Structure 1
């Protein structure tokens, strides 16, 4: 899915210039020419906002603060105001970057790309860990911890835990789990899933007798309880 960039500037020619440049790069572009239009577009959840400073009515600094009440995406200020005070004020208002007009297209697109890349990297780091109370699953390190204690799971056992935990409350048939983890060409059948789930449950129970996140859906398969 393409990243969405919200352009905010009261000068329509500049908005059209930026929009064309970003659409050529494959971005989805939303356009607003004032504060109220901008706030009305925030439910579309833009991935990045490009925000002019000098606008009639609500200026860019005020609008940035209003955006920050409901959105955490990167905000790139673009402005003809070039003093250090202006830059500092923009960053203090909640902006992430400040680009002085006139600017080159290459720098403009590169800054947007860099902010979106960092945002995805930060989001990926946050999603690396799945937490359910004291139980933490580290998808990258392939490790399950209960508090400070690491639980010893085999590769297949961990794969089952991760699959179910990534889709809490979704029911997976044994056959589906087997195909996803062992593969379509594997020699065996879904009964091995039952045995692996038993071992996972036993290890979780040994660590904490009250811990039982995997539910059996009789006649179907298993699900992870939130």
Structure 2
């Protein structure tokens, strides 16, 4: 079945450029567009599998719009922005975003990220259906993490990070390796989002009264402790 991508940007040049790229290089993907936040919410009726979202829109900022989108869909959101400060990344991830592409961007890079996100949004059945780590239970088929009998509220990328590490217990992965595994495109500068996701996962465990099994190996990366 054809995947649908929603592009939200108020720059007619960007809309035209990306539309042409889809027609020539990604003909198996459907593209719908919106030039404002209000139009983007209307376009959600097309059930997009992925959203490309400009941070600066005429009627609303992209981070606030992301929070509204998350009430409707969990589709991956890639921000298109010239703002790449750590503060912006933290705010974007906190709102429910998944990745960033910096303007001006390479169409080839954008296409690679889109395809990587969509592949990971449709990962095949996991080799283990349920795993237990003390009071922590991971239901891979339901994509659910349960602590002391209560399911945790996690963003999609946070669950995927837990899933990958828990399926490879004891093995140490760098931020770059984790970013490439989850996002599918090796971009070292953006690998810092892994650190923020780990921080938020740990806070969620603390709020649930539990210790997070994700261990920091200083100077190397992260691993899952049994």
TM-score for both structures, normalised by structure 1: 0.53
What does residue range 51-200 of structure 1 map to in structure 2 within 5 Å? 51-121=53-123, 124-125=124-125
8 A contact 1:7–1:15 mirrored in 2: yes
Is residue 8 from structure 1 mapped to residue 8 from structure 2 by the alignment? Answer: yes
Aligned to 1:145: none
Find the counterpart in structure 2 of residue 171 from structure 1. Answer: none
Deviation at 1:66, TM superposition (A): 0.5
Task: State the SS of the aligned residue for 2:10.
Answer: coil
| Aligned partner of residue 92 in structure 2, secondary structure | helix
- The answer to whether residue 34 in structure 2 is matched with residue 32 in structure 1 is yes
Structure 2 residues without counterparts, runs of 5 or longer: 130-140, 142-226
CA displacement at 1:109 relative to structure 2:
0.4
Residue 91 of structure 1: how far off its partner (Å): 1.2
- 8 A contact 1:7–1:19 mirrored in 2: no
Poorly superposed stretches of 4+, deviation over 4 Å: none
Q: Is the 8 A contact 1:5 1:30 kept in 2?
A: yes
Name the structure, 1 or 2, with higher relative contact order (CA <8 Å, separation 6+). Answer: 2
Give distance in 2, aligned partners of 1:120 and 1:70: 19
1:18 aligned partner: 18
In the TM superposition, what is the alpha-carbon distance from 1:112 to its structure 2 partner?
0.4
Larger radius of gyration: 1
Q: Deviations over 1:138-172 (max 9, x none)?
A: 9xxxxxxxxxxxxxxxxxxxxxxxxxxxxxxxxxx
By how many angstroms is 1:69 displaced?
A: 0.2
Kindly state the Cα deviation for residue 115 of structure 1 after the two structures are TM-superposed: 0.1
Per-residue CA shift, 1:83-117, capped at 9, x if unaligned?
11112211111001011111111111000000000
Aligned pair count reads 127
What is the Cα deviation at residue 82 of structure 1?
A: 1.9
